[in-house]
Amino acid sequence: MQAVIFGLVLAVASVFLVVPLIPAGEGIEEGENAPRTLTAARNAQYESRVLTEEKRNAAAAAVVPTRLAPDPAIRTRQLRTLDQFLLEVAAIRQKPNTTKQEQLTAVEGLASAATISADGRTAIIALDGAQFDAYRTRVTQALGEIMQGEVAINLPGDRDAIVDQLLARSTFWGVTSIDEVDLLRPPVRETLRAFVVQNAAVDERATEAARTEARQAVPTEVVSLSRGQVIATEGEELDAADIEALRETGALSIGFDYYKLAGGILFAVGFGALVGIYLYQVQPFHAPASRRLLLIGVVTIAALASARIALPELTPDRDGHFFAFALPLAAAAIVTASFADLPFAAVVAVAVGLFAAFIGAAAPELSGSGFIGSLESLELGIAYTAGGLAGAVAVHRAERLSRYLAAAVAVALATGLVLAAFWLIAEPRENEELAWQALAAGANGVASAVIGVGVFVVFSMLFGVTTRLQLMELAHSGHPLLRRLQDEAPGTYHHSMMVGALAERAADSIGADALVVRVGAYYHDIGKLAQPPYYIENQLDGSPSPHDALPPDQSARIIREHITNGLDIAARYRLPSIVREFIPQHHGTRLVTFFYRQATARGLEPDPRDYRYTGPRPQSKETAIVMLADSCEAIVRAHQDAGRAAIDELVDNIFAERLAEGQLDECDMTMRELQGVAASFKATLKAIYHPRIPYPTATPEELERIARGPVPESSERAGA
């Protein structure tokens, strides 16, 4: 069922990577450069909306606006404003004991002088008394003459043209000398530029009617193109007319192409089916596999989504930079190899490589354009597949993070070799492309390995997936928590090691995760570190038990606390959840039978709830095996002199008792597997607790001979 769901989710997600949710655009836009020489795909004759609109807009823009009669009130207002300005300037100039600079500063502070340029204000202050009077007369005269007629300012330079036209007339200056004209012209010109304004409003209705008439007079532009006719050469900037021609001749398409939609859906379904069917047939995961599948599915979809986003931007590779081959798609295969077997990782590598190549060739942004060639698609598919396969092989069964460095090198080499092979085939060949290929292949290898190790370390914790590498580290005897157990509770440590050896062999015999079982057994009793002397295996022979002075219910509470204490210690040491599960489940919901029966023997009426572990019962084969191994090892060790037949009976009784209590009801272990576990336990326990031959006591002669040491070889020969 998990395989079916995984394949279905992968197929559905893949559909959205190749099928647009909205109609596709043309793929290229106005202002972009043609990626290649674009030609008409078919014969076409059409009315060009773009060209017709351009000509009509030009005709409308050429229409001169129609204006109303000049408004005399505007002339009066401007003359009054100018007169006020001249009076204020005259007053400033006549102020005694002021310098030219002070006068200039005062003029700059006038509100009416705000629109006069700095050069104009400076020129006005520079005039002497007679010159200022002449300037005053001329500027007033000039403004009156200009504002008397129609003043239409349509463009920024129109005002200057009107002013300069007046000042260029000799009749305006009359008998004024040339020197005086040259002196007065700058201040007069700058002042007029500030006070001349438009006095004739545009007749919008009449002007718009004229423009409409001009547009209607332009005929529709008809364009005829033949199949194969060049519309735009490579590198040429495309305008709206080019885009229209490409679309009208079938070189570009918009909207949904239902045939391509169907093809994309079939390809996505095939992709999901390929992975899902393999997963169903081979089952490359140890149960439970849902979280591992979720992690692999997320990374695979993310890798393909990155191709979906990046490839339309990176292809076609007109500059020969090979950026598309730097995409770290090999990360999907690397992550798969970290959490599953190698054949499944190989399937993922091939499927992702081919599907990414399909995305590059058929992404909706490139609909109908054919920007990426068949050879480039093939190169993408082979390079992505080769990189994924190389990375998966490098990290398979990795027990050290250094293997991810080897994966980076492997991905880079595989990708680089594929690129080099295609470089030898393609023409023309540029030597500098080899450097870009090496850079892209190296970036692919490094990025894929970094993503792989990042997902392996970080996301495995977020998804609650414990990796083989983490389990190997936890199984090492130098782990701080195992060292504490060895130093502070040596009896519990020895018991845990024995349970680990017993359970690991049994798990391996029925196909359960033997490594998980061994590590879970090592840490299942770490809660006893809180109070080691209260547990029998840590009590020295002959020493009184601390429970002797306690009532049964209190002793039972202390014993049960090793579960809650164990969970607290596991949290402090950041043990993964798959290991923490063994702590509460290895006792399930059983009673602390020794003290419960002790209370009953004393005539008490104990409440079972005070003596029962909180559970839960074992939820997996692995925790069930440890529960059974924990009980069998403890009980057989207590009866280790009973003989081989007694071991069989003790194991059978324990299994029968756990079944009767319902402790195995919530795990997926079958009766056949349970029998296999029992057989494994019996064989291992008989090997550990087999009868030993009693050694005879050494005789006095033997002790004397040993004390003398070895006899020299020469003496033995002489005695002979």
Torsion of the alpha carbons at 494, 497, 503 and 509, rounded to the nearest 10: -130
pLDDT at 606 > cutoff 80? yes
pLDDT at 387: 94
Q: Evaluate whether 40 touches 245 at the Cβ level (below 8 Å).
A: yes
Lowest mean pLDDT among 22-36, 560-574, 671-685: 22-36
Give me the phi and psi of 431, to 5 degrees please.
Answer: -65, -35
Q: What is the pLDDT of residues 372-403, one digit of tens each?
A: 555 777 888 899 999 999 999 998 767 677 88
Per the CB < 8 A criterion, the answer to whether 296 and 339 are in contact is yes
Contacts of 623 (CB under 8 A, 6+ apart): 520, 581, 582, 585, 586, 667
In the chain, the percentage of residues whose pLDDT exceeds 70 is 89
Q: Are strands 230-232 and 222-225 parallel, antiparallel or unpaired?
A: unpaired
Closest by CA position to 319, among listed 234, 221, 199, 225: 234
Classify residue 304 as exposed, middle or buried by CB count within 10 Å of its CB (0-12, 13-18, 19+): buried
pLDDT at residue 247 in the model: 79
pLDDT tens, residue by residue, 337-365? 888 878 888 999 998 998 888 887 765 44
Q: Which stretches within 95-169 are classed as H helix?
A: 100-108, 118-126, 129-148, 158-167
* Beta pairing partners, 591: 612
Interstrand relation of 44-47 and 38-39 (parallel, antiparallel or unpaired): unpaired
pLDDT exceeds 70 at position 710: no
The 10s digit of each residue's pLDDT in 216-238 is 999 999 999 888 788 888 778 88
**How many CB atoms neighbour CB 108 within 10 A?**
14
> What element of type H or E holds 501?
helix 490-510
CA–CA separation, 386 and 417 (whole Å)? 9
As a whole-number percent, the residues of the chain with pLDDT over 90 amount to: 33
- CA-to-CA dists, residue 329 to 27, 108, 394, angstroms: 24, 69, 15
Supply the pLDDT for residue 260: 66
Cα separations (Å) of 130 from 103, 135, 306? 17, 9, 81
Residue 59 DSSP label: H
Q: What is the pLDDT of residue 657?
A: 94
**What CA–CA distance (Å, rounded) separates 350 from 387?**
10
Tens-place pLDDT, residues 239-287: 888 888 887 887 665 555 666 677 778 878 888 888 888 777 776 665 4
Residue 368 has pLDDT above 50, yes or no: no
Contact of 286 with 513, CB cutoff 8 Å = yes
CB 125 within 8 A of CB 101: no
CB neighbour list of residue 582: distance below 8 Å, 6 or more residues apart: 520, 521, 523, 524, 622, 623, 626
What is the average pLDDT score of the chain?
A: 84
Query: CA-to-CA distance for 295 and 466, rounded, in angstroms?
Result: 12
How would residue 417 be classed by pLDDT, with cut points 50, 70 and 90?
very high
Mean pLDDT of 106-127: 85
Pick from 590, 602, 691: nearest CA to 647: 691
Per-residue confidence at 694, pLDDT binned at 50, 70, 90? Answer: low
- Name the phi and psi angles at 322, rounded to 5: 60, 30
